[in-house]
A = this chain, B = another copy of it.
Amino acid sequence: MDLHLITGGAGFVAVNLARRLLARGDAVLALDDLSRGRRELVAEFERHEHFTFRQVDCSNLDELSTAIDEAGSQVAHVWHMAANSDIPAGVADPRIDRDRTFQTTFAVLEAMRRHQIPELHFASSSAIYGDMGDCEIHEDIGPLQPISNYGAMKLASEAQIRAAVEAFLPRADIFRFPNVIGVPATHGVIFDFVHKLRATPDRLVVLGDGTQQKAYLHVDDLIDAMLHVSGLDGRYKVFNIGPKDEGVTVRMIAETVRNRVSPGAEIVFGQGNRGWVGDVPRFRYSTRRLADSGWAPRLDSSQAVMRAVDEIARAELKD
């Protein structure tokens, strides 16, 4: 049985990862400062004998180190998921991305050096690429010009990890996440639309003109891909993760949510095809490296959206 440390352990993807690791017989130490993660998301695991949750600020090396010392056995893997996930908040105050996205990576690497933990799995992001227009975005493309502080601090984290692999870290995987959907949702376009319609059931106001197109991956497929990549050979592996299709429009998502939650509502679109600073309107994301490694998603973007809308609506509207 391996002990896996998950930073940002009370977040959306982390909870799905913990469930899968526990199911296959591994042990999990989940750390989260609960600034955005929510304690109730890990409630389902709290009685599991191989699951431990601790409230820890993962940007603080001493707190992190104490939690590792007290884990009782040697940590074999770190899944570094802690980050600020609110892109507009980071544009308004860059300290949020610096402290929660970059500084957590910095502290995690120092803790791994200190405690001789050999494998890091890092949740990076397609946001590191910036706006590449119609270019097909493969893992080795340049230039890398992130247009949000979120993307900048994910790129900074990747760079620091790469240098650590050169200096002391035996293995690291970099997962460049797409838009990931599913439950337990805490933010994101589907979550927002469900809540807007709950507040005003006759009207759904959408930022932008609805033509923005993005690819979406269901979280079950994401976890599957991460575990697949973590089992591949290589000291430093970088993988785009995503579906094979070019995605669906905001209009399609708005209509799917409307039809599920409040079929009579009017959808009101805004102007332009960008929702906020740092939002990239369209994106051709190559997942060929992942496909060539022998992995394929079960759901395409459209199927992922339909399933996630149903899951999120059920979770959010139950009370």
Which A residues form the contact surface with B (CB < 8 A)?
91, 94, 98, 102, 106, 109-110, 128, 130, 139-149, 151-153, 155-156, 159-160, 162-163, 166-167, 236, 238, 277-278
Contacts and interface: CB of A to CB of B under 8 A. Distances in A.
27 contacts: A94-B106, A94-B109, A102-B102, A102-B156, A130-B162, A140-B142, A141-B142, A142-B142, A142-B144, A143-B238, A144-B144, A145-B236, A146-B159, A146-B162, A147-B163, A147-B166, A149-B163, A151-B163, A152-B156, A152-B160, A152-B162, A155-B155, A155-B159, A156-B156, A156-B160, A167-B277, A167-B278
Contacts of A149: 160, 163, 167
Contacts of A91: 163, 167
A140 B163 CA distance: 21
A145 B142 CA distance: 11
A105 to B, nearest CB: 10
- Listed from nearest, the 9 A-B pairs whose CB atoms lie closest are A142-B142, A156-B156, A152-B159, A147-B166, A152-B163, A140-B143, A155-B159, A141-B142, A145-B162
Given A142-B143, A145-B236, A149-B160, 7 more contacts: A94-B163, A147-B166, A148-B166, A156-B156, A156-B159, A163-B278, A166-B277
Given A142-B141, A148-B166, A238-B143, A160 B130 contact: no
A166 B148 CA distance: 7
Contacts of A140: 142-143
A160 to B, nearest CB: 5
A94 B163 CA distance: 10
A145 B143 CA distance: 12
Contacts of A128: 159
Contacts of A143: 139-142, 238
Nearest to A129: B142
A120 to B, nearest CB: 15
Nearest to A113: B94
A162 to B, nearest CB: 5
Most buried by B among A130, A140, A141, A155: A155
A236 to B, nearest CB: 8
A109 B167 CA distance: 30
Nearest to A110: B94
A128 B146 CA distance: 15
A87 to B, nearest CB: 10
Contacts of A151: 159, 163
Nearest to A236: B145
